[in-house]
């Protein structure tokens, strides 16, 4: 496993992994019966919330290493 951690502004190339992570947390940690299709804003992160988010982790698609940090 790569132990290098990066922090970078959100880009659309990470959309699939980020959406999967968000939905995974909603469904598994909060037991919400919700899908990505029910949340159209998740499919427009770059256009709607681009300057509000950074991503951090060694692999964006790795649920145990990745985080989405809301910047204030």
Residue 28 has pLDDT above 60, yes or no: yes
Q: Where are the domains of the chain?
A: 11-70
Tell which wins on pLDDT, 47 or 12: 12
What pLDDT score was predicted for residue 51? 55
Full-model pTM: 0.65
Residue 66 has pLDDT above 90, yes or no: no
Average pLDDT over every residue of 6-18: 82
What does the pLDDT look like over 40-57, one tens digit per residue?
Answer: 888 887 776 545 567 776
What pLDDT score was predicted for residue 7? 77
Residue with structure tokens 């970078």? 8
């Amino acid at each position: 496993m790569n132990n290098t951690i990066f922090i970078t502004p959100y880009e659309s190339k990470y959309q699939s992994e980020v959406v999967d992570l968000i939905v995974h947390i909603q469904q598994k940690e909060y037991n919400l019966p919700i899908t990505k299709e029910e949340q159209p804003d998740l499919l427009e992160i770059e256009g709607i919330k681009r300057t509000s988010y950074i991503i951090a982790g060694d692999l964006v698609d790795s649920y145990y290493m990745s985080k989405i940090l809301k910047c204030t």
